[in-house]
A and B are shown apart, each in its own frame.
Chain A
Amino acid sequence: MPAPSLIGIGFEHRVVVGLAELAVSNNPSAVLTTYSLGSCLGVAIYDPVVKVGGLLHAMLPDSSIDRAKAAAHPGMFLDTGLPALLREAFGMRADKRRLRICVAGGAQIMDDGNVFNIGGRNRAAFAEFLRRENLRADAEQVGGSVNRTMYFSIQTGRVTLKVSGLQNELILC
């Protein structure tokens, strides 16, 4: 027997998207949440018509370093995680033309020589994917040296951010 629906009673349930994971939902009570992005990139996609949303927490830009790990955890890499995220959302009737996309994370340490720039490379891989797919980001809050947590309400499509060490949350999109 399916679990009783809490829709309309005002309950929210938090779905945690862990490191190297992705999740897609059309449950209006779900709040997809991913904690502490560091240099990782959090990518939220949303189709406001069918109210389908997905969230990815990707660690690294490029799966060519380890195809086996990418097969086991496509969300670990942007080049495997982003196509998987879109595929899952399309499977729930999301339409590419209606997608709203927002992104957060990609922080980096202070690196004059650009040696350690994992955050920057993640951002570049994301931009390259959008360009290839003819998509664009509607909002972004990336770079800097802070940790960010994303909360994504499927009901409203709103994405809010909590920056580590600061009290207030801010609305990303």
Chain B
Amino acid sequence: MLTLDSFIKSIDYLPPMPRNTTALINLLDRPDIDVDQVVELISYDPALTAQVLRLCNSAFFGGAPASDIHEATVRVGFNEILQLVVALGTATLMRPQQKGYGIEAGDLWKHCVTSALVGKLVAVDCQADASLAFTACMLHDIGKVALSRSLEAKYDEVVAETKRCQSPMLVVEQKLLGFDHAEVGGRLLQLWNFPVQLVQAVQFHHNPAASPQHRELAAYAYYGNMIACFMGFGCGLEALAFQGRSDALEIIGTTPEQIPGYMAKAFYAIRDTEALLCFPF
């Protein structure tokens, strides 16, 4: 059985995260974040520029059409632009089918966008950094993209094991591979030099209390993932086979009674975004 490090080294099929997305996510970490720097980064990528402009000029944002990214950023708001870029930038990685998890094309990305919208809603109410929560939720399952191919060859075993022992998917991954998608995701982000809070949020998104320094951000990722699964935006085999963690709610100061309210709010956020990002649900 491979170790986590040797597995990560052996990955030769993972499409890279667009460089601009990585650079933008790194900016999240900086207190002196500069709009011009963000505009410059987006401008390097003509396809991304076109997409961002199309979205900013859509009916969702309204107002007079913006003709360049700088104008769009000023009009729509810096954080909104950043979240759009993260969502669009991760699409390349997350949209393909993930056979090892029984995930159809498009479904993982849809799951992550839904999680991110929920994480942002909760973070705004808790007066936390909404863009950071959005990004942590957007990235939380990135390890699945790396692990899918390894599990694909063992898919019958995965199905049999999840049915047989009714254990969380994380445990099945550990048993069959020796590591799980949360660990792999965290390590990938570390290799890509992502900020440490995002590394830990992804690594501990199934057990936020275990995060050494960034329990709160991990708890937003946990919350977003959970609500997305409740609402049917979980994906693949045994999508809801993960542990309920009431301590994750305590970390961010929410209660179980608030869950239905956030599901109802998320319904509207998803509908708005559906029109924006063109995914029907």
Contacts and interface: CB of A to CB of B under 8 A. Distances in A.
A113 B243 CA distance: 11
B167 to A, nearest CB: 8
A165 B267 contact: no
B82 to A, nearest CB: 27
B246 interface: yes
B256 interface: yes
Interface stretch (A37-45, A134-142, A153-161): A37-45
A40 B260 CA distance: 11
B103 to A, nearest CB: 8
Nearest to A42: B232
B239 A145 contact: yes
Specify which of B103, B226, B244, B281 lies most central, judged by the most chain A CB atoms within 10 Å of its CB.
B244
Interface string A47-62: 0000000000001111
A1 interface: no
A76 B268 CA distance: 11
A66 interface: yes
A27 interface: no
A19 B239 contact: no
B232 A19 contact: yes
B244 A147 contact: no
B231 interface: yes
Interface in A114-173: 115-116, 118-119, 144-147, 164-166
Contact of B259 (A20, A66, A118): A118
A110 B256 CA distance: 15
Contact of A115 (B233, B239, B256): B256
Contact of A164 (B237, B249, B260): B237
A3 interface: no
A107 interface: yes
A109 B226 contact: yes
B259 A166 contact: no
B261 A66 contact: yes
A108 B240 contact: yes
B194 interface: no
B77 to A, nearest CB: 26
Nearest to B162: A145
Secondary structure call for the A interface: loop
Interface residues of B, number: 34
Contacts of A107: 239-240
Nearest to B261: A65
Contacts of A18: 281
B230 A39 contact: yes
A142 B229 CA distance: 15
Contacts of A65: 260-261, 264
B34 to A, nearest CB: 39
Contacts of A165: 101-103, 159, 236-239
Contact of B232 (A37, A60, A61): A37
A109 B281 contact: no
B263 A60 contact: yes
Interface string B218-234: 00000000100111111
A36 B232 CA distance: 5
Interface of A: 18-20, 35-40, 59-62, 65-66, 69, 73, 76, 107-113, 115-116, 118-119, 144-147, 164-166
Given A38-B232, A76-B264, 20 more contacts: A36-B232, A38-B230, A39-B231, A40-B230, A59-B264, A69-B267, A73-B267, A76-B267, A109-B230, A109-B244, A110-B166, A110-B168, A116-B256, A118-B230, A119-B230, A145-B241, A146-B237, A147-B235, A164-B234, A165-B237
6 contacts: A19-B281, A38-B229, A38-B230, A59-B264, A165-B238, A166-B102
Task: List the 3 closest A-B pairs by CB distance, nearest first.
Answer: A165-B102, A165-B237, A111-B244
Interface of B: 101-103, 159, 166, 168, 226, 229-244, 246, 249, 256, 259-261, 263-264, 267, 270, 281
